[in-house]
Amino acid sequence: MNLSKSRYCKGVQCPKMLWMDKYMPEKAADLNNERIFETGNIVGDLAMGYFGDFTEVPYADNKSEMVEETAKLLAAGTQNICEASFVCDGLFCAVDILHKNGDGWDIVEVKSSTELHEIYLHDMAFQCYVLRKNGLNIKGVFNLHINNSYVRYGDLDLKGLFTLEDCTETVFAMQDDVPGNIEYINAYIDSAGENEPEMDISLSCQNPYECAYWPWCARHLPSPSVFDISRLPAKKKFEMYDSGITGYGDVIDKKPKLSKNQLRQVEAAFYHLPDEIDKEGIRECLAGFTYPLYHLDFETTQYAIPPYDGMKPYQQMPFQYSLHVQEFAGAEPEHYEFLGKEGTDPRRALAERLCEDIPEDVCVLAYNMGFEKGRIKELADLYPDLAPHLMKIHDNIKDLMIPFQKQYYYSEKLCGSYSIKYVLPALCPGDPELDYHALEGVHKGDEASAAFADLPNHTPEEIAVIRKNLLAYCRLDTLAMVKVLERLREMISLK
Ligand code: SF4
């Protein structure tokens, strides 16, 4: 039982991953995948009821127990067996749902993604192979994934929430490749023994999943390397790497095709060029910002399974905002904030407070305004009575990111990024009040998202602490905007 479906899929992506798991697991970076795993479990549990009544094979460390339990359920003519477990020739797999289909069975693999990915086909091909080896008549193979156009109203409709995609033909066609893949993976591990195998980095390191061993396997790269070039597709990065272009010096020598901005990133870092300021460009951007100025930032979270009416799977649900209001340029800002109550739908209360806090006719500033505008438009669609006011706020939003996106200010320190997390330390270095690292518990958007979603699972005391951390984090996002704007104004000598 030494090759499971997940290990088989890893082996298909890169057999060295299995070797690393065995001999150097401590080299794995923490990819913060906990929320993804948790989502997978929630979706998997819910999907068990897709075909109606089902029996789940209880998890056991001793897989033989799961296999024996499955055999009993098969013999009893059970219609839907979840976690149906099989072994053969050192292979083990647990099928998410084994669904009776006439005189045979359908394999159903559940995924929390919103579409079929190629690696799932390998996963299903492995399961089909193992089950056939066990003598089962496999009639169909399906991928059950989330349908992101589903909108929840009332009770969950499993047939609407999930899409059942027929992969039978493709998976059957892949059957001949499975034994060869198994042989290759086993031989690779055996022949390496305890010596780290030589496996050069390749697109497989990032596709279909980012490999946790990347920092270890890529340790020979110079810093910075072509893999740090901003907005360059992974395929292009590996093409450069494969042709011997690894460091920024190689880029300058060999001149691969890059965009103007990418080349600027490389040259600024390589030659340590001084910051560049296009005063006229910045002035044009800032000309549209009028006072009083409302600096706004949302925090959002996503759920694979929409918890509230009117929500789609993975829709960005705003649960918090921070607002710094400046009456005039350079004025001490006033702060407003909203944070939804844990375990409840925060959207209505948030939309109402937003309308209370932001008048219809003021200039609102966001950083990457498409995101804030998108959320406000969704709230307006959901609450028609608030829509006129919300859409006024929406229409009045201006974007503080533009001067950086257009590179009217450029510094080596931005590393080609225009995220505020790069812009802020470049413009306001060493200011302890603006240090995200100094915050407790929540330091970035995805941590805020996970913290809010997880709030109902905590004690009241813990909730109080997490809420405080969330408020401090979001507050810093809009304070950062105030400070960045101040610095831009100083650059062009506008007070
Ligand atoms: S980083 Fe790349 S080469 Fe290293 S184990 Fe992962 S996929 Fe394989």
Asked whether 20 lines ligand 1 (CB < 6 A), one says: yes
- pLDDT of 32 reads 81
Give residues with Cβ within 8 angstroms of 363, minimum separation 6: 288, 289, 290, 291, 292, 293, 294, 396, 398
CA distances from 8 to 144, 268, 468 (A): 20, 44, 44
Candidate from 204, 206, 221, 238 with most ligand 1 atoms within 8 A of CB, to mutate:
204
| Ligand 1 atom 7: residue of nearest CA | 205
Ligand 1: centre distance to CA 27 (Å): 11
Ligand 1: centre distance to CA 17 (Å): 6
The whole-angstrom separation of Cα 327 and Cα 482 is 12
| Structural contact between residues 479 and 326, judged by C-beta atoms closer than 8 angstroms | no
Candidate from 14, 24, 200, 241 with most ligand 1 atoms within 8 A of CB, to mutate:
14
pLDDT along the chain (495 residues), means of 10: 88 95 95 89 97 97 96 96 96 97 97 96 98 98 98 97 98 98 93 91 92 97 97 96 98 96 96 96 95 98 96 98 96 97 96 98 98 98 98 98 96 94 93 93 95 96 98 97 96 73
Number of residues written out for the chain = 495
Helices (H), 176-259: 177-192, 214-217, 234-242, 248-254
Residue 82: closest CA among 113, 117, 114, 45: 45
Q: Looking at this protein, which amino acid is placed at residue 94?
A: A
Instruction: Characterize 137-152 residue by residue with b for buried, 16 or more Cβ atoms within 10 angstroms of its Cβ, and e for exposed.
Output: ebebbbbbbbbbebeb
CA distances from 226 to 44, 111, 218, 251, 265 (A): 39, 33, 12, 8, 11
- pLDDT of 1 reads 46
Q: Compute the half-sphere exposure of residue 488: CA atoms within 13 Å on the CB side of its CA.
A: 28
| Ligand 1 atom 5: residue of nearest CA | 17
User: Cα torsion for 275, 278, 281, 282, to the nearest 10°?
Assistant: 50
Q: Which two tokens stand for residue 307?
A: 């918890």
Asked whether 214 lines ligand 1 (CB < 6 A), one says: yes
Q: Looking at this protein, which amino acid is placed at residue 209?
A: Y
Give residues with Cβ within 8 angstroms of 329, minimum separation 6: 291, 293, 489, 494, 495
Asked whether 124 lines ligand 1 (CB < 6 A), one says: no
The whole-angstrom separation of Cα 152 and Cα 370 is 25
No. of helices (H) and no. of strands (E), the chain: 20, 13
Asked whether 192 lines ligand 1 (CB < 6 A), one says: no
Candidate from 9, 23, 24, 201 with most ligand 1 atoms within 8 A of CB, to mutate:
201
DSSP label at residue 342: T
Ligand 1: centre distance to CA 12 (Å): 11
The whole-angstrom separation of Cα 169 and Cα 141 is 8
Phi, psi of 105 (to 5 degrees): -140, 150
- pLDDT of 495 reads 45
Beta bridge partners of 339: 320
Phi, psi of 397 (to 5 degrees): -80, 135
Ligand 1: centre distance to CA 412 (Å): 30
Asked whether 4 lines ligand 1 (CB < 6 A), one says: no
Give residues with Cβ within 8 angstroms of 429, minimum separation 6: none
* All domains in the chain, ordered by first residue: 5-184 (3.90.320), 199-271 (no CATH), 281-491 (3.30.420.10)
Asked whether 339 lines ligand 1 (CB < 6 A), one says: no
Share of the chain residues as helix, strand and coil, in percent rounded to the nearest 5:
50, 15, 35
Ligand 1: centre distance to CA 383 (Å): 48
CA distances from 197 to 193, 226, 238 (A): 9, 24, 20
**211 CA closest ligand 1 atom index:** 6
The tokens 């997880």 sit on which residue? 454
What is the maximum alpha-carbon separation in the chain? Answer: 82
- pLDDT of 35 reads 87
Residue 304: closest CA among 156, 108, 85: 156
The whole-angstrom separation of Cα 211 and Cα 226 is 18
Ligand 1: centre distance to CA 101 (Å): 40
- pLDDT of 494 reads 52
| Ligand 1 atom 2: residue of nearest CA | 205
- pLDDT of 2 reads 80
Give residues with Cβ within 8 angstroms of 193, minimum separation 6: none
- What's the gap between Cα 135 and its chain centre? 40
Asked whether 14 lines ligand 1 (CB < 6 A), one says: yes
Q: What percent of the chain lies above the pLDDT cut of 90? A: 95
Q: Which two tokens stand for residue 253?
A: 């020598």
The tokens 């980095």 sit on which residue? 201
Instruction: Characterize 281-293 residue by residue with b for buried, 16 or more Cβ atoms within 10 angstroms of its Cβ, and e for exposed.
Output: bbbebbeebeeeb
**202 CA closest ligand 1 atom index:** 2
